[in-house]
Amino acid sequence: MEKLDTMDHLSRNFDPYHPFQLLQEVCEANSHIIGRKTRDLNDTRGDFHNDIEEAFGNFAEVLQTTVKGLQILRQAHPFVDAAVSAFILVITIDLTRKENDRKVTVLKLAMHDLILVFFERHQLDIKECGSACDAFLKKSFLSKTIRALQYESRFADFSARFKEHKCSLVSAFTLHTSVGIDSLHNKFDQQHSEVKRIQDRCAAMDLFHKLDTPREKDVKNFIEDNGGVKECLGNDELLEELIRKSGESLSKISGWDNSKRPDDLPSIRKKLFKELTEDIEDLFSRNASHFERKLEIQQRQLSEAIEAGTEKITHILLSGSYDRINHTDLQTIWKDMGWKGSVKARHFVLALQDYYTDKINSMVSENLGGGRRQSGMPILAQRKDLLSFRQQNNKWTLAYINAAYVQPILEAFDDDGTGFISIKEVNNFTESCPKGWSLPHWIAYWAVGWQANVSLYKNKIYSLIQTMFQTLEHVHSSNKRAVDEYLCQRVFWRIELLLRATRSINPNIMSDSPDLIRMTESYAASEEEKLTRNLEGVGYYLDTATTVTLVTGEGRIERVVDYRIQNLEAIFKQTHLDVQSRLGNFAFGMFQLSYGDIKRTPSQNSFSSWANENELIQMGKAPLTLDEISKILSCVDLSILKYGIQDGFQSTDFSEFETSRLRHISHPLQGTWSGISSRTHGQEIITYIVRISLRLSVDNESLLAKGEDFLNTFDAEGKANQTLMGYKFYLALLDDDGANTTATGFLNHDQDIITMSWSNRRKEQHSDDPFYKQFALRRTSPSLLRYRYTPQQFAEDRVRSRWAFACNAALHLAQEKLWSRCFLEARFAERRRFVELTTRSLSVGLGLTPQNPLNIAEASELEYLRQQLDPSEARFYQAISEFQIQKLPWHAWGCDWCDHRITYSGMLCLQCLSDDLSDNIHLCAACIDKSPTARGFTHNTSHNMIKVEETLHDFYFAHVVEAARNTVDRVKGLLETNEEAREDTLQRGGDEDNLFLFLLQQTSVGALLGLRYLR
């Protein structure tokens, strides 16, 4: 702290012509902090681990010092602003993050080293590296580990680059300062710089390996010992072991928050395989624009902080306790009370009350007697009506700066919840006071207004979520699944816990103070405006907790709930045994239910039962109609959608390649080509027809291409060159998500055959994928390729094969032209088969139930169809199949017997249901007669079950269970009174339990919800 004094001094004596001199002085002045072991982590001598831990431990402190120094420097000299800003932004953006990865920290150390000698150029590198770190940190532990080598390699590049910049800058400085530098020496340097860079890179890689935590090492060894990543992911046992070793919550890997069992292997495998094939370069570049937006917000907040904080720095530097308080009133209190560094919160609030009672009352009487202006209060408004303003506006606050509101007031000051208020906290509080408010206003706001706002938003959130669930029945069937998945997310019951725990304000408290109501509203409005602006800044995309902090700013908004709870817990534990009850008193109980072993408790879910306490705001009460929904939607700006509105399927138009249109230029490459290509899709190899149409651009300069297979379409552009034997060409795919797919091909003029092969970034790691193998393209129309002879047929009988092909093709074309009935029927049959088989194979691949895997004959039928169908048809059929899957009813739970994800309907046991409804036995239609024993339940086929035909949300859960149990009782009653019916049933061979089962199966959840009981 004392050393900042030097900085302050320096910034005042700043010489704008020698910016680096200042920085150097700052560094020297703080050398005891900055110099401490931040560098030369590559130096492996000595106790590596101790050194490194120490370096990490100091890192935050070192950075804060550097950043403060740089901020002063930047203010004093706009010249260095660009580079320094980039650095400060990137470094500070994650400073608050708890789980910083050590590898990222090392990179930041390297950036930090760099910035000390380097200002003008290359801030791009810094931003790029920052964005890479950001993208990396968002990944789960397992996905980081399985791609460790690739990430490390990219990071090592950054590290080497920073080192290189550092060297080149140092030599540039030397060049400037020392006249007559040895130019030979310089040359020598250049020749060796590449070697040096490689060495640096290796050293960095080496360092990254040393930084592996025991857990990372363990997982890496495990993967190595078991035959590599692919092997581990492919094998159920190995994957389970891997997940166990990673110790990571399954929700983070699978992206599902609600899977109640840790056996959702297929979706985890799918996710990890996707991670494995993901292009890192691509990932980094996709993250870059979002990162840039985050930096902009950080920038705004930093500059606001600098605006407000210049005086703060000078204040902090002064010694003496009360002197360090910025606000005069509080300074006086502190001085009068003779307090030292901190004071017990309760005493502070009481003193505050006394002070303001005296002051405001005396001011009122002064004012009555003609008055004079009193110094010591911040200037609030126009000077001429200052007095009346103050008198009118402060008097009412006395009702709230009062022992009755001790708790909320002390919470407002006592930010860390220690029960003591420090000078720093006092200053933070006064600095956050909105412009135009006096301190008593600000305190009164926290005494009551805050709770009023909390209650207001509690109501708003409740009614918003109720609206969401009410809208559910109107959701289009193709979107239903996405909406259901979204509403099952963990966040919803976490929100519910917060809302349920929060005590609402007594609406009468504020009713006699219009001033407070007005201020509370204006404060809420300004905060909301700030949040909206920041949310727009990040495009409403909150990817990590850090981004949330960025959006909410340093201030309250209950700083990202879990961090807040952790901090409070740590402090409460020191003083109170019962953290839970202490939290009950804190922040109106907001955190109480979110502490400790929290879990989903649908039985207490208050979303559907909640009714607005404040009857004035009755919204979302009446059931929503479609008309109302579309009215609301018409006011929503669709630009908030990150991916916009996309069409699921778009047909491709190849008309520009028709021969009639191509006639004006003749080139042997022009026209439509088709052939057979393959690729790995999941774990199987798929072979299909690919179509590529080529033409020259109007200026004859470039080659344009359009193509399609059963999964994708593509556009490409390239060049063609004539060679001795034919034409060589090169194509680059446009809009390729950064994978940089290219194709090289050769047209053999004599044979009229193109041999072509694909290549992209992924090729290096997946060279065995048949996708990269060379394949042949012929001038056969893609719809006629199916009639083409195989090479064997051709070898056996050339004439016969050619004739057969010609006859079949001619017949096809003729029938097509005539719209022949049998032609169309054959098409329809193909479509039905393709869609049915693909849908079934997709649902097996996705681990959905009921499963109906393809038998060998069916699998080869599908394979055959893919090699028969024109890609335009196949792609359309494939899209239909995917849509079939997407439309399936979706359930939050898997089947307790076969472990698959349930589609269509599931059976929920009414007996095997925990009291809080958080756990249950749920079976798929195929396993309905099974008796699983799991998680303490022993299910039995005689149990009563309900058929669940769509996602059963917690919102309805308790209600459905209750209605179902009532129905069971009712049916039982009916049976008991109606002996005849009973005997009748028994005669038909069924027993009573089975009848219940049967009746309940007929009673769908929809019927239960409508309370239409069975007769």
User: What does the binding site for Zn ion look like in residue numbers (CB under 5 A)?
Assistant: 895, 897-898, 909, 911-912, 921, 924, 927, 939, 943
CB of 717 to Zn ion, least distance (A): 50
- Spatial neighbors of 177 by CB under 8 A, at least 6 apart, are none
CB of 920 to Zn ion, least distance (A): 9
- Nearest one of 296, 281, 286, 287 to 90, comparing CA atoms: 296
The torsion of the CA quartet 101, 103, 109, 111, rounded to 10 degrees, works out to -110
CB of 930 to Zn ion, least distance (A): 7
Task: Evaluate whether 23 touches 87 at the Cβ level (below 8 Å).
Answer: no
Task: Evaluate whether 161 touches 110 at the Cβ level (below 8 Å).
Answer: no
- Nearest one of 405, 369, 402 to 387, comparing CA atoms: 369
**607 or 897, CB closer to Zn ion?**
897
**495 or 885, CB closer to Zn ion?**
885
The torsion of the CA quartet 938, 943, 949, 952, rounded to 10 degrees, works out to -60
CB of 951 to Zn ion, least distance (A): 17
d(CA 181, CA 807): 84
d(CA 35, CA 58): 10
- Nearest one of 1001, 1005, 891 to 945, comparing CA atoms: 1001
CB of 265 to Zn ion, least distance (A): 15
**447 or 927, CB closer to Zn ion?**
927
Q: Where are the alpha helices (DSSP H) in 178-323?
A: 183-211, 214-225, 228-234, 236-246, 250-254, 265-277, 280-317
d(CA 100, CA 60): 11
Residue found under tokens 């024993």 = 933
The DSSP letter of residue 896 is T
CB of 915 to Zn ion, least distance (A): 15
**880 or 898, CB closer to Zn ion?**
898
d(CA 969, CA 962): 11
Q: CA–CA distance from 597 to each of 15, 109, 580 (Å)?
A: 58, 37, 11
d(CA 625, CA 630): 9
Kindly provide the residue ranges of all beta strands, DSSP E only, lying in 786-905, ordered along the sequence. 848-849, 890-894, 901-903
CB of 211 to Zn ion, least distance (A): 45
Q: Please report the DSSP string for 775-805 in residue order.
A: EEEESS-TTTGGGPPPHHHHHH-HHHHHHHH
d(CA 950, CA 734): 41
- Nearest one of 505, 524, 488, 506 to 607, comparing CA atoms: 488
Angle value at C-alpha 555, between 552 and 556, nearest 5 degrees: 85
CB of 993 to Zn ion, least distance (A): 12
SS3 730: strand
**881 or 905, CB closer to Zn ion?**
905
Q: CA quadruple 60, 66, 68, 70: dihedral positive or negative?
A: negative
279: left (phi over 0), alpha (psi -120 to 50) or beta: beta
d(CA 620, CA 462): 10
**116 or 913, CB closer to Zn ion?**
913
**686 or 921, CB closer to Zn ion?**
921
CB of 910 to Zn ion, least distance (A): 8
**212 or 896, CB closer to Zn ion?**
896
**150 or 914, CB closer to Zn ion?**
914
**161 or 939, CB closer to Zn ion?**
939
**474 or 935, CB closer to Zn ion?**
935
Q: Provide the CA 170 distance to its chain's centre, in angstroms.
A: 40
**74 or 922, CB closer to Zn ion?**
922
**103 or 901, CB closer to Zn ion?**
901
CB of 241 to Zn ion, least distance (A): 25
Report the 10 Å Cβ neighbour count for 868. 17
**809 or 902, CB closer to Zn ion?**
902
CB of 256 to Zn ion, least distance (A): 18
CB of 853 to Zn ion, least distance (A): 14
CB of 881 to Zn ion, least distance (A): 22
d(CA 320, CA 203): 49
CB of 899 to Zn ion, least distance (A): 7
